[in-house]
Structure formats: C-alpha cells, structure tokens
Amino acid sequence: MIVKMSKLEIIGPRELLLDVLAVIREQGVLHPEPEAHVFLAPEQRAVVHELMPDKNSAEEQLFLESMYSLTSEILELLPRVETRESRLDPSPILDTLAACAEKHLEQCRNWTEQRENMLREREEHERYALLLGTMGEMIGGHEGVEGLDFIGITLRDPSFVDRLRDLLAQLTEGEFTLTSALAPDGTLIGLIATSPAHSSHIKQILSDEQLPELPFPPALADLPLPERIRRVQHSIAAATQKIRDINSELESFARRWSPIYRRIDQWLEERLALLSAATVVQETDMCFVILGWARTDSLAPLAHVMTEHFDGSVVLEELQIKEQDLEQVPVVLRNPPYFRPFELFSRLLPLPRYASWDPTPFIGVFFPLFFGMMTGDAGYGLVLLAAALLVLYRKPAGMLADAARILLISSCFAILFGILFGEFFGEAGGRLLHLKTYLPERSHAVIPMLIFSIALGISHVVLGLVIGLISALRRHKQRKAAANIVTIGLIICLAALLTSLIHPSSWLHRRPVLVLAGLLIPLLILSGGLLAPLEFIKQIGNIVSYTRIMAIGLSSVLLANAANNLAGLTGDVILGTLAAIVLHTVAIILGTFAPTIHALRLHYVEFLSKFVEHGGKRFAPLHK
C-alpha cells in the first residue's frame, strides 16, 4: 500500500534555521521539496526565494570542509584501536583544533612514509636473503669457487622457466645452472650460475627479454658469502625493529588522539550535512520557509517536538495537496507482513506514482496462485516447502529471507493444486497414493485447461481494467474511464461469443452479442481515439498470453511423467530410485524457475500495465 503523505510548510526566524534543521534531521521524517517554487503562488514568488548563503556561512562551510578532509586523513592513517568515546564539544575550540590537526597530520604522514620505506627495504633484503641462501646451497662448502658468476632475476610467470632454460643452454652450451624459488611475497625468483665469459651476454639477453635483474647491493659485493648472508639478516632484523617501533608510536598516538578526532569527524560530518540541507530551504527577508513532505502519521509527533524545542517561534502547517502537486509527492510503500516479502518483486519495477497503486498486494494475491497452478504437484510442493523452511530456519536477512517466504507461500499453493490435480511426483505418484482428482488430468485434458487459462486471463485482465477505471475516475479522467468501460464491455462480448462457440446453449444468442460489439467499437474509437482498436487487439493478445499457465503446467506434468517412466525402464529398484531422484530434481528446478518467471511476466506486462503508473519519487527524509 502507498502510505498517505502530508504536505508541510515550516516557517520560522532565519536565525533559528540551523537549529530547526538539526531537529528535523533528528526526527528523520521530513522529505524537503527541492522544487519548492512550484508550490508557491505567483504573488508569493516575489517575496519568497531560494536561501542564499551569506559570506560568513560560505566561509564557515569552506573551513569545515578543509578541516573534515584533515581529520578524515588522520583517521585513515591511524591504526584501529579500542579506545574510550570522547564527549568533547569541538565548536568553541575549532581554530586550535585545526592548527593541531595540521601538525598531527604531518607527523602521521611522516610515520607512515617511514614505515612504507622500511617495509620496502625489508622486502628487498628478504629477496637477497633468498638468493644468497640458494647460492649457499649450490656452492655448498666450496666458498669462493673461482670462475663462477651469479645472476639473480625476477620471473613473471612460472612457465617462463623452461623457455629461459632453453635460451641459456643455447647461449652457454650447457655451462650454467638455473634454480628458481618462491619469495615470501609470492614472486618467483631465479638464480643463474654460469662462467664469467657468458655472464655479460646473458645479462644483455635478460634485459632484451625484459626480465629485471636483482642486483646485489654494492656494499655486499666484495664480501664472502657467509658475511653477506649475516649482513642481510642483520638488515632485515633492523628494518623489522624499526617497523615495530613506528607501529608502536602510531598505536600510542592513536590511543591518545583517535577518540578526539573521531568525535571531531562526526561533529564536522553532522554540521556539513546541516549546511548542505539548508540549500533546499526558501527565505524571505526575515524568515526561512521549509516546504516538504512527511508521512501523515508522523505529523503530530513532529509538531509536538517543534513546539517543545522552539516554544511557538516556529510554525508547522499542513497544506492541502492539490491536483498539480500529485506528481511531486514522494512515495513510501508499507504492506502487511503477509505481503511484505512480495515487495522483492515490486522493487524490480520503477516506483509507482503517489496517485497510482502499489503493485505488491496484487502480486501477493495472484503470484502464488499462478505459481501453484503451473507447478500443480503435491510432491514438488512439499520439496519446495521443505527447502523454504530450511532456508528460513537459518534466519537469513534481506532478499534471501523475502525469497524464502515467497517460496513458502507459493509451495503451499503448489501442494493445494497438486491435490486438486491428483499429482504427486507426476500422475503415477497420485495414482499410487489413491489421490482423488478434483480437476481434469492436465496431461490429457489439454483443451479444458486451455479454456480455463483463457477464462482466467479474461478475469485477470478485466480486473486490471476495472482498477484502471477506478484510478481514472479518481483523477477525473473521464475519457480514459469511458475507454476502459467500453474495452471491458467488448472483452465480455468476446468471452460470450467464445462461450457460445465452445458450448452452444439455448439462452446465449450470438446475434445480440455481435450487435452489441458492433455498437461498442465506434464508442471505443470515440473515447480512446483512433488507436483504441489497436489497443483492444493488444488486450486480446494479453488474454491469450495467459495460456502459458496451461502450457507450463502441461510441460511440468509431462516432465514428471517422463521422469517416472525413465526410472521404471531401468528395471532395478536402486538404479530406478537414483534415476527418479536425479530426473525429479531437474524437473523441480525447472518447475521453480519457469513458473516464477512466467507468473511475474503475466503481472508486469499483462496485469499491472492496466493501472499502475510508474515514475514515483522515493521518500528520502533528512536524517542523521
């Protein structure tokens, strides 16, 4: 259902504007009208205009914005630590805080930069350590093996190792070894050992292949291998210690200052939101004027709070919603608990206009009915019911919870129609359980089911047209109302003709029906225009579209019967049971998706298009 809204006007002295906006945001019930000038009468437009911020307000906003960026960056650089909550009121000491924040930001940036440098250095040294370790393993105890040169490289891709090995074999005629290892950061590192005669050529080739060489620091170049390893390990330990020190300093800073900066950040956010909310306000020379919308049931509490805070200095008045205002009214949907999950399907469509209808209750009534008619199998219904209960048992939230509730309701209808059709995992199951069939068997009664689907389509489309007629009468659109009445009349004539063709009876004469239809066609053109006959043909197409209920139902039952027949053909109890489980699972999955999509389509295209006008504005109240 679309919640009833009220049009509001709040007027008060200009100096109270920010206080009033703060109260409104606290309450979170008022949707300000951005195009408020539309509401004003021509004589009012001369004195009421959009609020122009004065020099002081503009300066304040710029100052607060720059301070907000400072505090946000500080909080981003600081580690998250558990601290007390600050109750500081930043407004009296804003200038001091701004100067302090600049210094603190500089300090935090320095610490972060130092830490990043140290992390980079440690990572580099860890790679050296890996290379040196590999070198140590290769030359073993033969320290200072003469005539051996080592080249370290970073490999982009593990598959490149084999290609490189072939390349090196060609260049050095086999005088090399290539070892690869994975660095702690996941990079693949390669170490080439070869004779000095080949090394310069190899380096040139590596450079051409864009394989970055890992050069050893010059300070380590002339040292013996154990000394090199010791120095590198020492550098890693020193970098780790330095990182630990910086982290500790940042943490202690965060413990002391982050509660204060969090509080300032929050205060700034609220203050800036308040200043930006002021942009939708109108003003006269002495007063501010806020025009907007609120839910009618929230009007009395808002008025009470306003009186309590401003003691009559601020006036809240409910204005009459005029015909031309209806396009501007924001929309809130609120439905009883049974219908609420079906808002999932309504949300797929654009929001309805305020003067239109919420599609949710209609989908809530007819969707499970159509789903049940198409699935129409008590066994499948029970499986879907169990699945829905299982999902709901885990207490899901949001869309999944809504989907599970819809499945729960729809599966109950599938069970009900399954009993009526006498189907339990196909018709064979129903016969096995001696289920009495209250309706014709779907697999054989194709024509009766076709007639039933068309009859259902006629009823649903006529219902849509009747609701469209009520909407047109409410909005005083007489021609639209007349066109709907004539269309309904023509559909009834058509239904009567069909009935007389299928079941000729003595009381139903075709000639008067044809004469009536002939009289209605000119009326249709008069009320709906020259395109009205085409629109009427579209309505017939919409009615025929309901035959999909029979078509999907027929395919569902035939699939279930095929599953049973194939399982029976195996001639083995275990194999047959397994085949039946697999085939019925496929049928259940298909039997869930196809009816859902088709039932939704019948609503979206055939039914709701008759009376729901889309293009409503979402209710977005000012709130904290």
Q: Which residues bind other proteins (CB under 8 A)?
A: 347-350, 446-447, 450, 541, 544-545, 547-548, 551, 597-598, 600-601, 604-605
Which of residues 443 and 527 has its CB atom nearest to other proteins in the complex? 443
Q: Residue 359 Cβ, how far from other proteins at the closest point, in Å?
A: 10
- The DSSP secondary structure of 228-258, one letter per residue, reads HHHHHHHHHHHHHHHHHHHHHHHHHHHHHHH
Tell me if 346 sits within 8 A of 360, measured CB to CB: yes
Please state the closest distance from residue 463 (CB atom) to other proteins, in A: 20
Is the Cβ–Cβ distance between 234 and 129 less than 8 Å?
no
Closest contact distance (angstroms) between CB of 75 and other proteins is 31
Helices (H), 209-320: 218-221, 225-277, 299-310
| CB contact burial 340-379 (16+ within 10 A = b; e otherwise) | ebbbbbbeeeebbbbbbbbbbbbbbebbbbbbbbbbbbbb
**Nearer of residues 235 and 545 to other proteins, judged by Cβ:** 545
Q: Closest distance between other proteins and the C-beta of residue 287, in Å? A: 39
Q: Kindly tell me which of 108 and 599 has the beta carbon lying closer to other proteins.
A: 599
- Give the residue with the Cβ less far from other proteins, 473 or 501: 501
Minimum distance from residue 358 beta carbon to other proteins (Å): 15
CB of 348 to other proteins, least distance (A): 3
For the bound state, the minimum distance from the C-beta of residue 227 to other proteins, rounded and expressed in Å, comes to: 59
Residue among 215 and 350 whose Cβ is closer to other proteins = 350
Q: CB of 403: closest distance to other proteins in angstroms?
A: 14
CA dist 416 → 372, 384, 440 (Å): 7, 13, 15
- Nearest alpha-carbon partner for 134 in 84, 186, 189, 88: 189
By beta-carbon proximity to other proteins, the closer residue of 180 and 609 is: 609
Q: Distance of alpha carbon 461 from its chain centroid, rounded?
A: 32
Contact 577, 564 (CB under 8 A): no
Q: Which is nearer to other proteins, 581 or 597 (CB)?
A: 597
Task: Output 348 or 575, the one with its CB closest to other proteins.
Answer: 348
Rounded to 5°, the CA angle 392-394-399 comes to 55
How many Cα atoms within 13 Å fall on the side-chain side of residue 582?
8
Minimum distance of other proteins from residue 484's CB (angstroms)? 22
| CA distance linking residue 157 with residue 376, whole number of Å | 57
- Between 261 and 607, CB nearer to other proteins: 607
Rounded Cα distance, 580 and 557, in Å: 14
